[in-house]
Amino acid sequence: MIVQPIEVLLVEDDPGDELMTREAFEENKIGNRLHVARDGEEALDFLYRLGAHADAPRVDLVLLDLNLPKYDGRQVLERIRSDPDLTHLPVVVLTTSSSEEDILRSYKLHANAYVTKPVDVNQFIAAVRQIDDFFLSVVRLPNQWMSHG
């Protein structure tokens, strides 16, 4: 079985965390394509293909930080889940917050998973690789998501 690469949108304002996430994807040697939005507004523009992102691909998975400029991750998640065209999109909250309030609110907003970023670089990379492996190898995504037309 040939595995189709998936389009992943990382919504992350920390350049260090972005770099570690890229490294994790590259180390995994899987052709998943990682796109980055550095704030909540850019993430929504990417998902809705607005402005500079008019030619953006359809996303198969969102890795979403909670603490972002402009719109925070909670607002982005709420918008995704309230839009019939996006509500199906898997969203993994990937954040430094281990607050019970943030965890509960994220799940109430229907996040697919909540992952607290490990402080250790190697553990962080391992966590991102596990997310990538899970969504590429374990989870079945509807065919309509996999056709990027």
- Alpha-carbon dihedral of residues 126, 90, 61, 136, nearest 10 degrees? 60
Domains of the chain in start order, with CATH, are: 7-139 (3.40.50.2300)
**Cβ atoms 11, 76 nearer than 8 A:** yes
Give per-residue pLDDT as tens, 33-66: 889 999 999 999 999 999 999 999 999 889 999 9
Q: How confident is the model at residue 28 (pLDDT cuts 50, 70, 90)?
A: low
Q: Which tops the pLDDT comparison, 108 or 121?
A: 108
Cα angle 138, 144, 148; round to 5 = 100
Quick one: average pLDDT of 123-143?
A: 72
Contacts by 56-60, CB closer than 8 A, 24 or more apart = 57/7, 57/33, 57/148, 58/7, 58/145, 58/148, 58/149, 59/7, 59/8, 59/9, 59/35, 59/89, 60/6, 60/7, 60/8, 60/89, 60/90, 60/135, 60/141, 60/145, 60/146
Which single residue is written with the structure tokens 């109430």? Answer: 108
Give per-residue pLDDT as tens, 63-110: 999 999 999 999 999 999 999 999 989 999 988 888 999 999 999 999
For the four alpha carbons of 127, 88, 111 and 75, in that order, the dihedral sign comes to: positive
Please state, as a whole number, how many other Cβ atoms lie within 10 Å of the Cβ of residue 149.
Answer: 5
